[in-house]
Structure formats: C-alpha cells, structure tokens
C-alpha cells in the first residue's frame, strides 16, 4: 500500500512537472518569452525585431519571413545570406502544409569529378574556398516565391526596414566580433584588404553595409530579375570569373525555387512536418524517431545512458541510409516510403543491444527490396493569424566560401562541399556520400537542414530548427523529445545539453562539460567512442511552442545571440 502511494505520488509529481501543466506566470524561470499572439525567434535581435514589426503592421508570417531572412543577411553575414540558399516548412492557420526548396544548385559547367586530380584524389580546399566552391544561390528566388504565393504587404514595405538596417548599421556583438576576427585572414586572402570585412570590428562597433543597402534597393525596384539577370547578376558573375568560378549568367537565369510536399510522419501522438529531399533532414529525423519510438525514453530519463544508447544506435543506422539513398529527388529515385516504414525500421534495430555498442563497420545502409559547427541559421515564426513557418538558411561554412562581392555587399556560399566529391570521401561535416549525392550539372546538393513543425492532436504545437551541418537533425529531434518526453519548457528544451552520432566517423559527440563523467565512462566501457571536444557546441535551436492556454512560448538558444520577440 505504502509502495503504491509512493508510486502514485511520483507519477503525480512527474505530471506536475510537465510544462503543459505549469503556469508560466508563476514559474517564469523555466520559460522563454511568453506572448499572446505572435513570436519571431532568430539568431539576431535586429532580425527578430524587423520580422515582428512586419507582423505588427498587419503582415503575415510569410511577409515576416521575407523580412527576417533579409535582416539576417544584413546583421548575421556568418550564415544569413543573399548568396546562399535554404528551406522553409509552413503550416497555415487552416492546417494546410507545404515546403519550399531554395537550395543552391551545381553550375551547368560542373562535373562529377571536378574536385578530383588525375589520381582520383579529392582536393578538399577547392570544395570549401574560392570560386569553384560556389553553388547557384537560391535565397532571392525563395523570398520572391514566398511573397508571390502568400505575401500580403508590398515587397517595398517589407524590405524598407532591412534597407535601413544595412545603411544605418547594426551593433557588432561579442560573439560576432570573435568570429569576424577568426576568419579575417581568410577574408583578405580570398578577396583583398580593402573589402568591408577586411577591417577589424570590436564588440559595440556599428557595422554599416551601404553596398548591400543599394543591392536590396535595386531588388525592390527590379524584382527577382535584378538578382538573376540584372546588374547584380552581372557583377556577381564578373567577380566569380576573376576568382576561379564556373557559374554563368545562364545558371542564374535558370534558377528556380521549388515548392515540395513536406515529409510527414507520426511519433506517438505527434504529427511531424519536415523538409523532404534534397534535404535529408525530414527523412533521417523520421527514421531516428521511429526507431526510438518502441523504447520508453520518458522512463529512461533525459540524457540517461539508455536514452543516449537508443538515440545513438538509431542515428548510426539512419545516417548510414542517408549516405546511400539520399540526394536531389529531381535526379535520383529515393525510396522515402520504405525508409520511413515501420517494418523496415523495426528490422534496422534488430541487432541493437544495450550491453554493447554496435560498430559502424557492421552497419551498412539497409537493404530494401565535423563538428563544432553553427554555420547556417534558423528562424521560427508564428503570426497573429495562427500561421507558422520554420526556415533554415545557409552559406554552408561560416561566411561560406569567404568570397565577398564588395560592390554587392554579400558573401557567396561554399555549398558545393555538401555534394559527395567522391564516394567515401568525407565533406567538412565528416559526412560520407555515395552515387545519390554525386555532382551533376543543375543538381542540388544534399542537405541536413531540418526546419520542422510539430502538431499535437492535429493542432499546431511546435515550430523549430537549427544550424550545425550534420548535427542539425539530431539537435532538432532531441529538442522535440525534450518537450514531448522529458517535460521541458521550450526554453529549457533548446538550452539542454546535446549529443550526436552520424554513423561515420564512429564517434558520439557530447557538448563540452555538459555530461557526467561517470556516464561517459560507462558508455566507453560498452564500446562507444566518446568525444567531448573543446568548446564543442551542437546546434543552436530557435523554436516556438503553443501553450495549452493558446499563448506562445519562444525558445531562443542560449548558445548564441538568439532572441525571441513577440506581442
Ligand atoms: N550546409 C549544411 C547543410 O545544408 O546541411
């Protein structure tokens, strides 16, 4: 009887802990920003502020997306961009869902072995630095596609505050000063010492980018054509020619963002909507969550040894499939339904045992009938009408290829590194690819970006995503589990320490000084190769949750300058 009472008490205490039951007005410590109607959360306060101002004017989440995306291009050149690409997942207030692919493409003059020498060895620098690393940018096509389909305010009105931000400047943060310093030698060696980013900037300085303000003004005036066929296009191609690039005016003219059906699957009572190929995000996250679903993670506990083992082993198997099966769906046939089917995934975990780590050498892709990385940036928006978007955008590496078109005011991506330059040769994130992700003219390189929206009982519940290359997928899924299984608030869930495994290299990464040494020792005894790395950060998640009251809670990751603002 006493035992039963204790058990009931434990169940009661535990259920009281669930954020759904917590009154956020009394337990403010645990919650991020709580707002009545709308929230924008992004990597920079300026971008969240401008996105929110568009909502306050009566604009919708899609208008705010355009404003936030472009504000990040101004105030967060580390990953925000005009010279890169991204993905967006949306859920309308009426439940309609969709996704937009504005991923970069390989230029028409590219070829399968373009990074290999005569002996077939890959020259890795060429995929990362300089003109050959640059894919055809998709971001500007992306914002115009969104605006055309869903926009409610004129582009001129949406971009006016962004142009002001570029012209009048933004204040450099301490994080930003650090990264600008870290890459300043690259900026000079890849460009010259007269470009805007060759100067040194300290925290508190105001950084103005009049060239970018002018480019944005021309885009407002001339539309998408300005970027893909106009003066901006010409200057970009001239610049690339001098820097060893192969992109042409024809490449730019042909570029189109593509609306795609999102990946949708269930995890317990949650309906998950995420990005389909050419991002691996939705499928790989779906595989991991569905492989983990039969295990009682809530009972095992957050970051307990059993939870870490289940997720690590599911990750090992899903990333092995990623490497073999996934690529641009316009070029390769992807068995998406099978990869996400219960029967296939059940079989994948058959050889998992809690007593010993599986070796990645024993795991290949299933038969069917890098690391300290915060590159890329994610923002989430829920508007006052109930529309939600999750958008992840990137230059790939920090400041992309480091090529900066000074006259235009933006960096160019090095997204070509996301292709498999040669089967078995790792990219900057250590990811290994195969034929499905080999280079071909006009093909999109495989991504890990995972903008995601989660429904609970058919209603909007979360919108989230993360930067972090290959660690994006594992960061997003751990954040979902932190709320759904482990009772955290949105803010707690994005801040919680994370770990990551990606099949190869066969190593489990843990955020520095965040996991108990005894736990790591126990994992080592079971055969796991553990890497805590120095100053290792895994992901930087920006998310929003709908509270049972209908109010919204923002989760702005503590790992950066990320900020949630709302009304
Ligand atoms: N460039 C990182 C990704 O797309 O996964």
Q: What is the DSSP string of 96-163?
A: -EEEEEE--B--TT--TTTTB-TTS-B-HHHHHSSGGGPPBP-HHHHHHHHHHHH--S-HHHHHHHHH
Q: Which atom of ligand 1 is nearest to the CA of 392?
A: 4
pLDDT at 426: 87
pLDDT confidence of residue 12: 42
Mean pLDDT, the chain, as a whole number? 94
The confidence band for 431, taking pLDDT boundaries of 50, 70 and 90, is: confident
Residues 147-157 have a mean pLDDT of 98
Residue-wise pLDDT for 443-495, tens only, equals 999 999 999 999 999 999 999 999 999 999 999 999 999 999 999 999 999 99
pLDDT of 18 strictly over 90: no
Ligand 1 nearest atom to the CA of residue 415, by list position:
1
Per-residue pLDDT tens digits for 228-239: 999 999 999 999
User: Ligand 1 mean position to 448 CA, how many Å?
Assistant: 5
Residue 17's pLDDT band, with cuts at 50, 70 and 90, is: very low
Token readout for 237 is 């191609």
List pLDDT tens digits, range 487-538.
Answer: 999 999 999 999 999 999 999 999 999 999 999 999 999 999 999 877 789 9
Of the candidates 330, 326, 259, 318, the residue with the CA atom closest to the CA atom of residue 290: 318
Is 376 a known active-site residue? yes
Active-site hit among 127, 232, 312, 376: 376
Q: What is the 3-state secondary structure (H, E, C) of 487-545?
A: CCCHHHHHHCCCEECCCCCCCEEECCCCCCHHHHHHHHHCCCCEECCCCCCECCCEEEE
Residue 472 alpha carbon, nearest atom of ligand 1:
5
| pLDDT single digits (tens) 77-97 | 999 999 999 999 999 999 999
Could you tell me which residue, 26 or 255, shows the higher pLDDT? 255
Mean pLDDT of 205-212: 98
pLDDT at 10 over 50: no
Rounded to 5 degrees, φ, ψ at 253 are -60, -35
How far is residue 480's CA from residue 462's CA, in Å, rounded to a whole number?
Answer: 8
Ligand 1 centroid to 469 CA: how many Å? 5
CA 130 to ligand 1 center in whole angstroms: 18
Beta-strand runs (E) in 359-432: 377-382, 388-394, 404-405, 410-411
> Closest residue (by CA) to atom 4 of ligand 1?
447
Percent of the chain exceeding pLDDT 90 equals: 89
Confidence at residue 510, expressed as pLDDT on a 0 to 100 scale: 96
Kindly calculate the radius of gyration of the chain based on its CA atoms and give it in whole angstroms.
23
From atom 1 of ligand 1, which residue's Cα is the shortest distance away? 396
* pLDDT single digits (tens) 371-414: 445 689 999 999 999 999 999 999 999 999 999 999 999 999 99
Ligand 1: which atom is nearest the Cα of residue 394? 1
Ligand 1 pocket, residues with Cβ under 6 angstroms = 376, 394, 396, 418, 447-449, 469
Residue among 79, 394, 416 to mutate when testing ligand 1 (max atoms within 8 A of CB): 394
Q: Are 54 and 71 in contact (CB under 8 A)?
A: no
The alpha carbon of 377 and the centre of ligand 1 are apart by a number of angstroms equal to: 10
Nearest residue by C-alpha to atom 2 in ligand 1: 469
Cα 451 to ligand 1 centroid, rounded to whole Å: 12
Q: What is the residue-wise DSSP string for 466-491?
A: ---GGGHHHHHHHHHHHHHTT---HH
pLDDT digits 0-9 by tens, 289-308? 999 999 999 999 999 999 99
pLDDT at 368: 59
Map tokens 């929110």 to a residue.
52
- By three-state DSSP, how is residue 172 classified? coil
* Per-residue model confidence (pLDDT) at position 356: 96
Q: Please state whether beta strands 530-531 and 508-510 pair in parallel, antiparallel, or not at all (unpaired).
A: parallel
How much is the average pLDDT of 6-18?
44
Q: What is the mean pLDDT of residues 558-567?
A: 97
Smallest CA-to-CA distance from 45 within 492, 554, 491, 404 is with: 554
DSSP annotation of 367 reads: P
Q: How confident is the model at residue 21 (pLDDT cuts 50, 70, 90)?
A: low
**8 A C-beta contact, residue 35 and residue 567:** yes
**Spatial distance between the Cα atoms of 75 and 51, rounded to a whole number of angstroms:** 13
Q: How far apart are CA 16 and CA 173, in angstroms?
A: 39
């Amino acid at each position: 009887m006493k035992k039963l009472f204790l058990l009931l008490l434990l169940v009661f205490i535990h259920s009281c802990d669930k954020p759904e039951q917590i009154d956020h007005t009394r337990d403010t410590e645990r919650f991020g920003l709580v707002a009545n109607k709308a929230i924008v959360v992004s990597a920079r306060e300026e971008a969240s502020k401008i996105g929110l101002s568009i909502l306050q004017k009566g604009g919708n989440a899609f208008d705010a997306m355009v404003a936030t995306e472009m504000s990040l291009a101004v105030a967060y050149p580390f990953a925000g961009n005009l010279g890169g690409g991204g993905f967006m997942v949306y859920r309308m207030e009426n439940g309609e869902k969709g996704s937009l692919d504005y991923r970069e493409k390989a230029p028409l003059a590219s070829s399968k072995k373009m990074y290999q020498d005569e002996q077939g060895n890959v020259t890795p620098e060429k995929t990362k630095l300089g003109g050959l690393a640059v894919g055809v940018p998709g971001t500007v096509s992306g914002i115009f596609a969104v605006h055309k389909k869903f926009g409610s305010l004129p582009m001129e009105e949406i971009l006016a505050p962004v142009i002001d931000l570029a012209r009048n400047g933004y204040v450099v943060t301490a994080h930003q000063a650090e990264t600008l310093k870290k890459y300043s030698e690259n900026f000079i060696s890849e460009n010259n010492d007269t470009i805007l980013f060759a100067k040194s900037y300290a925290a508190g300085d105001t950084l103005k980018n009049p060239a970018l303000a002018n480019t944005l003004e021309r885009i407002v005036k001339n539309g998408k054509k300005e970027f893909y066929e106009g003066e901006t296009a010409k200057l970009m191609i001239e610049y690339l020619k001098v820097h060893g690039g192969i992109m042409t005016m024809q490449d730019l003219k042909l570029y189109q963002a593509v609306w795609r059906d999102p990946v949708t699957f269930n995890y317990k009572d949650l309906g998950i909507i995420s990005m389909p190929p050419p991002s691996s995000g939705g499928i790989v996250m779906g595989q991991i969550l569905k492989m983990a679903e039969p295990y009682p993670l809530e009972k095992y506990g957050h970051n307990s040894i059993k939870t870490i083992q289940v997720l690590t082993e599911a990750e090992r198997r899903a990333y092995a499939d990623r490497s073999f099966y996934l690529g641009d769906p316009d070029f390769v046939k992807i068995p998406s339904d099978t990869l996400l089917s219960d029967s296939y995934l059940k079989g994948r975990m058959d050889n998992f045992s809690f007593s010993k780590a599986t070796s990645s050498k024993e795991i290949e892709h299933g038969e069917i009938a890098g690391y300290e990385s915060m590159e890329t940036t994610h923002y989430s928006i829920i508007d006052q009408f109930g529309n939600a978007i999750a958008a992840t955008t990137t230059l790939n590496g920090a400041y992309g290829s480091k090529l900066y078109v000074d006259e235009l005011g933006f960096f160019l991506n090095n997204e070509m590194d996301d292709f498999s330059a040669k089967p078995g040769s790792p990219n900057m994130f250590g990811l290994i690819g195969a034929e499905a992700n080999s280079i071909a003219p006009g093909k999109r390189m495989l991504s890990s970006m995972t903008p995601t929206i989660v429904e609970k009982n058919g209603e909007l519940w979360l919108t989230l995503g993360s930067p972090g290359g290959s660690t994006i997928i594992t960061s997003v899924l751990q954040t979902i589990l932190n709320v759904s299984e482990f009772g955290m608030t949105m803010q707690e869930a994005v801040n919680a320490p994370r770990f990551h495994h990606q099949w190869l290299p066969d190593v489990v990464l843990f955020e520095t000084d965040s996991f108990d040494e005894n736990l790591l020792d126990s994992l080592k005894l079971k055969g796991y190769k553990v890497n805590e790395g120095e100053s290792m950060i895994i992901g930087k998640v920006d998310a929003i949750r709908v509270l049972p009251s209908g109010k919204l809670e923002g989760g702005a990751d503590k790992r950066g300058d990320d900020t949630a603002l709302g009304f």
